[in-house]
Structures are given as C-alpha cells and as structure tokens.
Amino acid sequence: MIVIKYLWYYTMWTLVRIGLHLYFSKIKVTGRHNIPKNTPIIFGSNHENAFIDALLITTSNTRFDHYLVRAGVFGNPIAKALLNSLNLMPVYRAQDGVNPLEANKQIFRACFEALAKKYSVMLFPEGEHNMRRHRRVLKKGITRIALGAVNFEGGTKEVSVVPVGVNYSDHTGFRSTVHIVFGEPIVVKEQEENAKNYNKLTSEITEGLSLVHVSLDRNAYLGLDAIFFHDLDSHQLIEPEKINHKSAALENRLDEVNEVYDEKKELEEAGLSFPFRSISNGGKLKMLLLVPLALIGLLINLPVLLPVHWFVKTKIKEVEFVASLKFGFALLGFCVWWWLLASWIWDYSSRWELVIIGTLLPFISLVSLNGFLRKWKRFQTTRMLSNENLQPKYDAFVERVNLIRNSISF
C-alpha cells in the first residue's frame, strides 16, 4: 500500500513541478543545502499566495511532505479523499465552529507520527495569507508540533525546523518569477513543553523566517513598498537579503517613507496603476511584433481562457487565491485541450511533426499573448503620463524615490 501511495504522490509531484515551470518564467531556489537529510523536518513558510505557496515549496525538494491546511477546503467528500491521498491534513480554527485545541489534537498526533517516520511536515505559522510583503506575528502551532514531536512517546528525539521564504515578483501574473529560499535549520531536541521554551522557539523561528522572505516593517509597509516595488519589472527576482537590509536603513526615516506613499496614493487616485514602468520605443516595437502570435494565442486557447477568466472575475473574492486557481485550471484545462488538439491533428494528418507543432504552438502563442498584454498595459499607462498635470507629479515622485534609493545604495 505504501508503494502505491509513494507512486501516486510522486506522480502528482512531477506533473505539478512541470506545470509550475511552465506557469512561471523562472523559479529560483536558494539554500537547498540547508535541508537536512534522513531526519524529520518541519517546513515553516511565509504565506502570501494561497495553495501555490505549498506547491512551489514541495516541488523544490524531494521529501515526502505532509501539509497542514485550513479545514474549510475539506468540506467536499471528493476533495477530502483527494487531499488526504496527497498527505494534506486539516487544521481547525475558531471560525470553523469547533474548539480548535480539541479538534487539532488528532491532527497534531498525525504530525508527530509522520515526523517519527522521518517524513516532513509543512505549515504556514503566520496563520493567514496576505500578499503584503511584511513581517507577521507567528501562531503557536509550529512550536506545539515541534516540541510535541520530540516529547511524543515512541517518536523522534530531534526535529529540524527549516524556515522557507517564497518571494514573488508578481503574485498573480502568468510567466512571472519566484525565488524560494530555504533558511538554516533550527534544531529542536527533547525538552520540557512550557511557556519559556515555547516563546524561545517561536522567537527563533520568527527570526529565521524574517531572513528568507521580503519582510518589511508592517507599520511603514505602504511607503516601503512604494520605494522598493513601484517600478518592479515582472521578471525581476525578489531578493530578501538585499531588500530587508535596505529597508532596515530606513527605520529612522519614517516621515520620508510615509510622504512617498502619500505621493503614490495621489497618483493612483489620478488613474496611474502600480507597479509601473514606462514602455520604451523598443518595447512598443516588440508589442507590435507580438500581435500576430498573440492573436493566435487568444483564438487557439479561448476554450480554456474564457471560463478561467470568467471564474476568476466573478467567483474569486480573495485576490490571494487568483494565482492558485489560475494555475489549477490551467494545469487541467490546457492539458486536456492541447491533448485534444494533438489528437485531432494526428487523426487528420498522421504526421508526428504536425502533432509536435500543434502541441508547441498553443503554449508559445499563449506566452506571446501574455507578453503582449503586459506591454499593452505599460503602453496605456505610459500614454496617461502625457497629461500635463500627471507627468510633473510622477516625475517628482520618481525623483524623491531615487534620492532615497541612492542614499541607501539601492
């Protein structure tokens, strides 16, 4: 039975990994050497982008991961069976209508048993998902599992907590970039489960997590975000070490930081959308050259694009779920649609070279469509700056940001 479970898990792992490398233009992974071998691990990550966070982390390492996710996604019996088959376990909160301490006892025991077998457990200790790149207060769940595991009868006597940072250049954009950072492991050995040890371990995990993802000061977040990311290129990787260091240099300049946000807010109220980078003449030429392939990409992929667009626009209430659902629909929808296209080409031509072209063209044209839409958005926003009132305000905003950046050698 365990062999079948392994085969099922790693088959899905492989399919998702391939899909993620098609969905993102680049997935950079740093710190794989920090993942201990042949020892139980708890992966604790920041949580900015719903399910896709877990998919990126688990396909960036080869451990047999178990995951804690909120209980609400287990409501459907079919979904529950599928999630359980992939090692997902529900974690209960007060809003789930139960006593979370009692309801989670069985789940924590399952975590202890998985760790005793030298498997890994993944969870998001912030207890919420939010696209804002700032530090959050951690919940106690990760420390309860870590200390509970080393004190569990018949369990492991040592567990490593590995902080993981998932850093997106664009949380919702297709063909954006992501940087996954595995931090130095925090070794937890058998010790008494008391408030002092809980607080000490929580502090250590908080510190470790703050080093692996972009964790701006929460109170000054909007201004810092404007300074560092207002002109973010969709293919620029987020480098937590660099950004966090520069952010710390502005801790005593909060008035300046807040003034930057006020200027950005004024520009947004005037109609400018961020992040924004003006398009060059070369960019305009590339946009025009992409038109034919973009049109093909739209037409040939419309049976999948249309329902996905409709669902995201009308049914998704939390923006944090957009990328996860776009990826999930795309993985299933495009695989089926492109397989049907390839089958039809084979039935009518019986030529492998045409089948290969018919399989590659939909993806290449889809990427071209995405590139065109990104450049078109930049083109439209750049045109707005021709407004005689808006351009001077934008120039003053950029000048202020550049002065601050230069002062911290950004």
Do 62 and 170 have their domain in common?
Answer: yes
Last residue of a domain, one of 185, 215, 245: 215
Do 138 and 189 have their domain in common?
Answer: yes
Average pLDDT over residues 185-196: 95
Last residue of a domain, one of 167, 193, 215: 215
Do 184 and 262 have their domain in common?
Answer: no
Rg value, the chain, Cα: 24
Q: What percent of the chain has pLDDT over 90?
A: 70
Do 206 and 335 have their domain in common?
Answer: no
Total count of domains within the chain: 3
Do 169 and 254 have their domain in common?
Answer: no
Q: Using pLDDT thresholds of 50, 70 and 90, give the confidence band for residue 169.
A: very high
pLDDT in tens, 285-300: 999 999 999 999 999 9
Q: Which residues contact 304 (CB under 8 A, 6 or more apart)?
A: 329, 330, 333, 334, 337
CATH code of the domain in which 71 resides = 3.40.1130.10
Do 208 and 224 have their domain in common?
Answer: no
Q: CA nearest 148: which of 103, 184, 117, 194?
A: 194
Domain that holds residue 301: 281-384
Do 245 and 200 have their domain in common?
Answer: no
Q: Which residues contact 141 (CB under 8 A, 6 or more apart)?
A: 68, 91, 104, 123, 125, 127
Do 339 and 194 have their domain in common?
Answer: no
Q: Using pLDDT thresholds of 50, 70 and 90, give the confidence band for residue 307.
A: very high
Mean pLDDT across the chain:
91
Do 63 and 151 have their domain in common?
Answer: yes
Do 131 and 227 have their domain in common?
Answer: no
pLDDT of 245 strictly over 80: yes
Question: Angle formed by the axes of helices 254-269 and 390-407, to 10°?
Answer: 150
Q: Which residues of 219-232 are buried (b: 16+ CB within 10 A; e: fewer)?
A: ebbbbbbbbbbbeb
Q: Using pLDDT thresholds of 50, 70 and 90, give the confidence band for residue 301.
A: very high
Q: For residue 53, what are the CA distances in angstroms to 22, 293, 323, 399?
A: 16, 31, 10, 35
pLDDT at 101: 66
For residues 64 and 120, the answer to whether their CB atoms sit within 8 Å is yes
pLDDT in tens, 115-168: 999 999 999 999 888 999 998 989 888 999 999 999 998 889 999 999 999 999
Do 199 and 245 have their domain in common?
Answer: no
Do 68 and 146 have their domain in common?
Answer: yes
